[in-house]
Amino acid sequence: MTVTKPHLLLVDDDERLRDLLFKFLVDKEFFVSTARDVAHARELMNIFIFDLIILDVMMPDEDGFSLADSIRNGPTRMKDIPILLLTAMGETEDRITGLGKGADDYLCKPFDPRELLLRLQAI
Protein backbone atom coordinates (compact mmCIF):
# COMPACT_ATOMS: atom_id res chain seq x y z
CA MET A 1 0.00 0.00 0.00
CA THR A 2 1.37 3.39 -1.00
CA VAL A 3 0.85 6.35 1.29
CA THR A 4 0.68 9.69 -0.51
CA LYS A 5 2.54 12.55 1.11
CA PRO A 6 0.47 15.71 1.65
CA HIS A 7 1.29 18.29 -1.03
CA LEU A 8 1.90 21.73 0.47
CA LEU A 9 2.26 25.06 -1.29
CA LEU A 10 4.67 27.36 0.55
CA VAL A 11 4.34 31.00 -0.54
CA ASP A 12 6.90 33.46 0.84
CA ASP A 13 9.06 36.14 -0.77
CA ASP A 14 11.92 35.50 1.69
CA GLU A 15 14.10 33.01 -0.19
CA ARG A 16 16.12 32.01 2.87
CA LEU A 17 13.03 31.23 4.95
CA ARG A 18 11.42 29.47 1.98
CA ASP A 19 14.46 27.22 1.57
CA LEU A 20 14.73 26.43 5.29
CA LEU A 21 11.03 25.60 5.56
CA PHE A 22 11.18 23.52 2.40
CA LYS A 23 13.96 21.35 3.87
CA PHE A 24 12.23 21.07 7.25
CA LEU A 25 8.88 20.07 5.74
CA VAL A 26 10.38 17.58 3.28
CA ASP A 27 12.21 15.97 6.22
CA LYS A 28 8.82 15.68 7.94
CA GLU A 29 7.42 13.70 4.99
CA PHE A 30 5.58 16.46 3.11
CA PHE A 31 5.77 17.03 -0.63
CA VAL A 32 6.41 20.78 -0.98
CA SER A 33 6.10 23.22 -3.86
CA THR A 34 7.35 26.76 -3.31
CA ALA A 35 6.30 30.11 -4.73
CA ARG A 36 8.12 33.43 -4.38
CA ASP A 37 5.00 35.60 -4.65
CA VAL A 38 1.25 35.51 -5.23
CA ALA A 39 1.54 35.50 -9.03
CA HIS A 40 3.85 32.47 -8.89
CA ALA A 41 1.47 30.78 -6.42
CA ARG A 42 -1.45 31.31 -8.82
CA GLU A 43 0.55 29.68 -11.63
CA LEU A 44 1.23 26.63 -9.47
CA MET A 45 -2.39 26.45 -8.33
CA ASN A 46 -3.46 26.22 -11.98
CA ILE A 47 -1.23 23.17 -12.40
CA PHE A 48 -1.44 21.29 -9.08
CA ILE A 49 -4.04 20.55 -6.45
CA PHE A 50 -2.64 21.22 -2.98
CA ASP A 51 -3.60 19.72 0.35
CA LEU A 52 -2.62 22.84 2.30
CA ILE A 53 -1.21 26.31 1.66
CA ILE A 54 1.31 28.08 3.92
CA LEU A 55 1.05 31.73 3.00
CA ASP A 56 3.02 34.84 3.93
CA VAL A 57 1.05 38.08 4.03
CA MET A 58 3.55 40.84 3.21
CA MET A 59 4.81 40.25 -0.31
CA PRO A 60 5.50 42.53 -3.28
CA ASP A 61 2.70 43.34 -5.72
CA GLU A 62 -0.13 41.37 -4.08
CA ASP A 63 -0.46 40.32 -0.44
CA GLY A 64 -1.39 36.99 1.08
CA PHE A 65 -4.71 38.31 2.37
CA SER A 66 -5.92 38.86 -1.19
CA LEU A 67 -4.79 35.39 -2.28
CA ALA A 68 -6.57 33.78 0.68
CA ASP A 69 -9.72 35.74 -0.17
CA SER A 70 -9.58 34.76 -3.84
CA ILE A 71 -9.08 31.09 -2.95
CA ARG A 72 -12.13 31.13 -0.70
CA ASN A 73 -14.22 32.94 -3.32
CA GLY A 74 -12.73 31.23 -6.37
CA PRO A 75 -13.14 27.91 -8.18
CA THR A 76 -14.86 25.15 -6.25
CA ARG A 77 -11.85 22.81 -6.44
CA MET A 78 -9.79 25.21 -4.30
CA LYS A 79 -12.33 26.61 -1.83
CA ASP A 80 -11.70 24.01 0.84
CA ILE A 81 -7.89 23.94 0.78
CA PRO A 82 -6.69 24.73 4.31
CA ILE A 83 -4.67 27.94 4.56
CA LEU A 84 -2.16 28.76 7.29
CA LEU A 85 -0.96 32.36 7.29
CA LEU A 86 2.67 32.60 8.39
CA THR A 87 3.57 36.25 8.81
CA ALA A 88 5.37 38.92 10.80
CA MET A 89 2.06 40.79 11.09
CA GLY A 90 1.07 39.83 14.60
CA GLU A 91 -1.36 42.48 15.77
CA THR A 92 -4.87 41.41 16.73
CA GLU A 93 -6.36 43.32 13.79
CA ASP A 94 -4.02 41.52 11.39
CA ARG A 95 -5.05 38.11 12.73
CA ILE A 96 -8.73 39.06 12.54
CA THR A 97 -8.27 40.24 8.95
CA GLY A 98 -6.46 37.05 7.96
CA LEU A 99 -8.98 34.74 9.56
CA GLY A 100 -11.77 36.85 8.06
CA LYS A 101 -10.26 36.36 4.60
CA GLY A 102 -10.57 32.61 5.05
CA ALA A 103 -7.36 31.45 6.72
CA ASP A 104 -7.77 28.37 8.88
CA ASP A 105 -4.86 29.27 11.15
CA TYR A 106 -2.46 32.15 11.74
CA LEU A 107 1.11 31.85 13.01
CA CYS A 108 3.35 34.85 13.64
CA LYS A 109 7.03 35.09 12.73
CA PRO A 110 9.37 34.39 14.37
CA PHE A 111 8.05 30.91 15.10
CA ASP A 112 9.23 27.51 16.24
CA PRO A 113 9.12 24.97 13.38
CA ARG A 114 7.77 22.38 15.80
CA GLU A 115 4.74 24.58 16.43
CA LEU A 116 4.24 24.99 12.69
CA LEU A 117 4.33 21.22 12.27
CA LEU A 118 1.73 20.70 15.00
CA ARG A 119 -0.54 23.33 13.46
CA LEU A 120 -0.22 21.71 10.02
CA GLN A 121 -1.13 18.35 11.50
CA ALA A 122 -4.14 19.89 13.25
CA ILE A 123 -5.62 21.39 10.10
Average pLDDT rounded to a whole number, residues 13-34: 97
- Distance between CA atoms of 90 and 35, rounded to whole angstroms? 22
Give me the domain span that covers residue 73: 7-122
- Residue 112 counted as domain residue: yes
pLDDT for 4 equals 87
Contact 91, 112 (CB under 8 A): no
Average pLDDT rounded to a whole number, residues 36-50: 96
- Distance between CA atoms of 28 and 37, rounded to whole angstroms? 24
Q: What is the pTM of this model?
A: 0.93
Between 64-72 and 92-100, two packed helices, what is the crossing angle to 10 degrees?
30
Q: How many domains does the chain have?
A: 1
pLDDT at 2 over 70: no
Span 58-102, pLDDT tens digits:
999 999 999 999 999 987 778 899 999 999 999 999 999 999 999
pLDDT for 115 equals 97
CATH number at residue 109: 3.40.50.2300
**In the predicted model, what is the mean pLDDT of the chain?**
94
- Residue 2 counted as domain residue: no
Sheet of 7-11: strands edge to edge? 31-35, 7-11, 52-55, 83-87, 105-108
